[in-house]
Amino acid sequence: MRRKLAAGNWKMNGTQDSLDVIAALAEAHATAIVDILVCPPATLIAAAAAGSGPVAIGGQDCHMAESGAHTGDISPLMLRDAGASHVILGHSERRQDHGEDDDMVCAKARAAIKAGLVAVICVGESLAERDAGTTLDVISGQLAGSVPDAADGADGASVVIAYEPIWAIGTGKVPTMAQIGDVHDHIRARLEDRFGPEVGQAIRVLYGGSVKAGNAADIFAVRNVDGALVGGASLTVQDFSPIVTALEAAG
Ligand code: PGA
């Protein structure tokens, strides 16, 4: 049985005041029966991790090297040192804004796993790819290219996949539940092909893209959806807490 995960991606939002959100979440979900993760900007990780109770704290990106001459970058070891347990990798905003390709995402994921972080690896098609009917091929390619091998430590504990259709991120548009189910089933099948049934069944697959309190229960009822990666609706307790509660109710 996969333990569900409600993950928040704050993107480039949040200052010291926002630590209150994490404290309030921790209090509201002190006895949560699902995993809760918040990925604030890097500037808040250490302070957030110092008192986040049941809320795990993650980074939103990391470099593939442990240290060195990489101005502005943060290594997986530094994230761990600051108290992070997870890191989001290959988000479509990184792939688009920073030219990250599958090879880079895979190298980062290998480094993250080596440092003891859980790699939350994002995949997802563009609207043009969906319209062209190539969604499942695109997802297969991204999984094959971005997810490290078992020999690199990839397993159900170290890897989480987030399916995030690019056209659904921050747009209020959500695929139909059938479309989400098709992609999640496809991801599960590819993971089983590659890692075998045990590990393939153990890796959690999140849905992300315009998840809100109002659609969370429907999304969480879809087969092979093990939780959500939530952007905008993770910035306040009022918005995020009902999503966590919906995930708990989904059992
Ligand atoms: P959104 O973002 O929930 O604001 O659509 C999701 C994400 O990019 O992870």
* pLDDT tens sequence across 80-137: 999 999 999 999 999 999 999 999 999 999 999 999 999 999 999 999 999 999 999 9
What secondary structure letter does DSSP report for 30? Answer: T
Look up residue 156 and give its two tokens. Answer: 């159900």
| In the block, residue with structure tokens 């918005």 | 239
Helices (H), the chain: 19-28, 45-50, 76-82, 92-97, 102-114, 127-131, 135-146, 177-202, 213-220, 237-249
| Cβ atoms 54, 87 nearer than 8 A | no
For range 21-29, the mean pLDDT: 97
Helix (H, G, I), strand (E, B) or coil at 155: coil
Look up residue 164 and give its two tokens. Answer: 């995030």
Instruction: Determine which residue's CA is closest to atom 3 belonging to ligand 1.
Output: 231
In the predicted model, is pLDDT for residue 12 greater than 90?
A: yes
Residues with active-site annotation: 91, 164
Whole-number percent of the chain with pLDDT over 70: 100
Distance CA 39, CA 117 (A): 13
Q: How confident is the model at residue 1 (pLDDT cuts 50, 70, 90)?
A: confident
| Cβ atoms 39, 25 nearer than 8 A | no
- Tell me what pLDDT residue 244 has: 98
Q: How confident is the model at residue 182 (pLDDT cuts 50, 70, 90)?
A: very high
For range 5-29, the mean pLDDT: 97
User: What's the 97 CA to ligand 1 centre distance in angstroms?
Assistant: 15
- Tell me what pLDDT residue 213 has: 97
CA of 211, closest atom in ligand 1: 3
| In the block, residue with structure tokens 């094959």 | 144
In the predicted model, is pLDDT for residue 251 greater than 90?
A: no
What secondary structure letter does DSSP report for 148? Answer: P
Mean pLDDT of the chain: 98
| CB of 174 shorter than 6 A to ligand 1 | no
- Tell me what pLDDT residue 233 has: 98
> pLDDT tens digits for 52-78?
999 999 999 999 999 999 999 999 999
In the predicted model, is pLDDT for residue 51 greater than 90?
A: no
- Tell me what pLDDT residue 91 has: 98
User: What's the 231 CA to ligand 1 centre distance in angstroms?
Assistant: 3
For range 42-54, the mean pLDDT: 95
Helix (H, G, I), strand (E, B) or coil at 38: strand
- Tell me what pLDDT residue 53 has: 93
